[in-house]
């Protein structure tokens, strides 16, 4: 069976122009119809007014002789006709029974006279339609003694309306031609930013995300669309650059322990060695394998967070109890490193979230604090309520974070330049995981690092700073 050919879709430029012409054409047609019928009504009203005046003048010229009624002064009736073409105008007089008695103008060969009933009608007749008005003649204001009928041909009305039709039939196509030219110009001008967006989008690739529209026209919907497109490209470029850095850093983090393992294996296999040497080599290799396992687990955890932001196992969690229990777990480690840990926790502060993820977040923050606090330093854990939220602060003294590194401290694999040693620096994923968990719960994680002010009369500590990580989570419903 032969497949039907797909009907090609018209371009947006052509569709907008056609819609523009359709609206202009419909508006012109409606206006033309309104003008036509309004002019027709006005002309008919003027004819009716003229007929009424003619009947009023004719009524003053009526006389009755013996048993017959007639117009006694033809000159006055000429004034009543008003110089009209007598072939296009007529007046006639009827008796009370509707019998003809007298007439002026084309009363015999003009209109098809209607029966004598008061009012105005349009009727046929010679050379087209006629307008006929009928009025009764009274004696003493009550008795009807006859009827007066005045008629005028509507040929001039038809001719006037025909000329108007000709003008409209000529003007509307001309207006549509001008509108089409103007519509194409306006559509091209309006779509120019979209054309630029298309050209910019076609020039974007994974290796070049630097192109932007840079719209500089009037502040309107198009400028808003162009700016939104540029902001989207900024976000895409940032995401691509972050992914490239992530891939490069992950490759580096994986390559280093693998290279160490390869070297240790080569050395161990280079020549026969004693059992102690093999034991030491295997122990070192086990440490590198543990590092690889931790790194793989962290990467898998981040990947799941990226995918499952909206699919957390949400439940009501008493964050006060959770923070207290986590701080207690790290208190022994801090004591072993001769660090002072203090806690200030408001009771029964609850949030809605996944308890496993929240435990991971708190452990990462406290592990980071213990790791970077020197011997004799201080660690503080504080939980308090604020309007609509619960805030957890983890502070520690020590060398702190340089101001230039604060903006990137939550980036994946990022480590402060002064702490690149693998033995203490870790892989740089702990804080990134903590921030993603906070975001997944509708919260935020921020950091500040400030210099310690010296006590009065005491010299300031060299490089001593206080680093504060602040976790803010929405309160549970009902808090």
What confidence tens digit (pLDDT) does each residue in 102-123 have? 888 888 888 888 988 889 999 9
CB 98 within 8 A of CB 111: no
What's the token pair of residue 210?
Answer: 């630097």
- Distance CA(112)–CA(132), nearest Å, equals 9
Whole-number CA gyration radius for the chain: 49
397: CB partners within 8 A, 6+ apart:
373, 374, 377, 378, 379, 452, 464, 465, 466, 467
The torsion angle over the Cα atoms of residues 47, 50, 51 and 52, rounded to 10 degrees, is 120
Question: 315-474 maps to which CATH number?
Answer: 3.30.565.10
pLDDT (tens digit per residue) in 86-104: 678 888 888 888 888 888 8
Rounded to 5, what percent of the chain is helix, strand, coil?
50, 20, 25
Angle (CA) 331-332-334 rounded to 5° is 65
The CA distance from 114 to 217, in Å, is 71
pLDDT digits (tens, 9 = 90+) for 420-462: 444 444 567 788 888 888 988 889 999 998 887 644 444 445 5
Say how many C-beta atoms besides its own lie within 10 A of residue 332's C-beta. 10
Pick from 149-153, 157-161, 192-196, 231-235: least confident: 192-196
pLDDT of residue 422: 42
pLDDT digits (tens, 9 = 90+) for 201-249: 777 776 677 777 776 766 777 778 778 878 888 888 777 776 776 677 6
pTM: 0.51
**At the topology level of CATH, where does 221-307 sit?**
Helix Hairpins (1.10.287)
Beta-ladder partners of 164: none
Sign of CA dihedral 330, 335, 341, 345: positive
Quote the pLDDT of residue 472. Answer: 94
Give 2's DSSP letter. P
- Architecture in CATH for domain 12-161: 2-Layer Sandwich (3.30)
Identical fold at 221-307 and 315-474? no
Domain spans, the chain: 12-161, 221-307, 315-474
Q: Which residue has the higher pLDDT, 294 or 470?
A: 470
pLDDT of 80 higher than 80:
no
Cα–chain-centroid distance for residue 189? 21
């Amino acid at each position: 069976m032969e497949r039907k050919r797909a009907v090609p879709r018209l371009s947006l430029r052509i569709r907008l122009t056609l819609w523009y012409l359709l609206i202009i054409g419909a508006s012109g047609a409606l206006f033309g119809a309104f003008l036509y019928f309004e002019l027709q009504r006005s002309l008919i009203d003027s004819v009716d007014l003229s007929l009424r005046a003619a009947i009023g003048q004719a009524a003053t010229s009526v006389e009755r002789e013996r048993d017959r009624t007639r117009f006694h002064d033809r000159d006055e009736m000429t004034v009543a006709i008003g110089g009209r073409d007598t072939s296009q105008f007529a007046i006639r007089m009827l008796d009370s029974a509707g019998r003809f008695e007298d007439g002026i103008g084309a009363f015999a060969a003009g209109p098809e006279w209607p029966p004598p009933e008061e009012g105005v009608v349009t009727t046929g007749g010679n050379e087209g339609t006629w307008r006929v008005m009928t009025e009764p003649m009274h004696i003493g204001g009550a008795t009807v003694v006859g009827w007066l009928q005045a008629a005028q041909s509507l040929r001039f009305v038809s001719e006037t309306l025909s000329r108007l039709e000709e003008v409209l039939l000529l003007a509307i196509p001309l207006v549509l031609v001008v509108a089409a030219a103007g519509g194409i110009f306006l559509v091209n001008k309006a779509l120019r930013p979209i054309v630029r967006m298309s050209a910019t989008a076609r020039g974007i690739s994974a290796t070049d995300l630097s192109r932007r529209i840079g719209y500089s026209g009037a502040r309107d919907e198009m400028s808003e669309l162009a700016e939104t497109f540029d902001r989207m490209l900024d976000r895409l470029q940032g995401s691509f650059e972050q992914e490239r850095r992530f891939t490069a850093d992950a490759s580096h983090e994986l390559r280093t322990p693998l290279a160490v393992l390869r070297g240790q294996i080569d050395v161990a296999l280079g020549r026969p060695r004693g059992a102690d040497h093999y034991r030491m080599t295997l122990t070192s290799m086990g440490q590198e394998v543990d590092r690889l396992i931790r790194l793989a687990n962290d990467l898998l955890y981040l990947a799941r967070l990226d995918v499952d932001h909206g699919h957390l196992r949400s439940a009501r969690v008493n964050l006060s109890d959770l923070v207290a229990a986590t701080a207690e777990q790290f208190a022994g480690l801090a004591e072993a490193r001769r660090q002072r840990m203090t806690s200030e926790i408001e009771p029964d502060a609850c949030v809605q979230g996944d308890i496993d993820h929240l435990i991971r977040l708190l452990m990462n923050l406290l592990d980071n604090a213990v790791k970077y606090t020197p011997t004799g330093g201080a660690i503080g854990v504080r939980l308090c309520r604020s309007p609509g939220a619960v805030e957890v602060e983890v502070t520690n003294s020590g060398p702190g974070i340089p101001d230039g590194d604060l903006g990137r401290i939550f980036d994946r694999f990022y480590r402060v330049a002064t702490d690149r040693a693998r033995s203490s620096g870790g892989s740089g994923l702990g804080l990134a995981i903590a921030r993603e968990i906070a975001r997944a719960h509708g919260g935020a994680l921020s950091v500040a690092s400030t210099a310690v002010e010296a006590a009065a009369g005491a010299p300031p500590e060299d490089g001593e700073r206080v680093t504060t990580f602040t976790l803010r989570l929405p309160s549970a419903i009902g808090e």
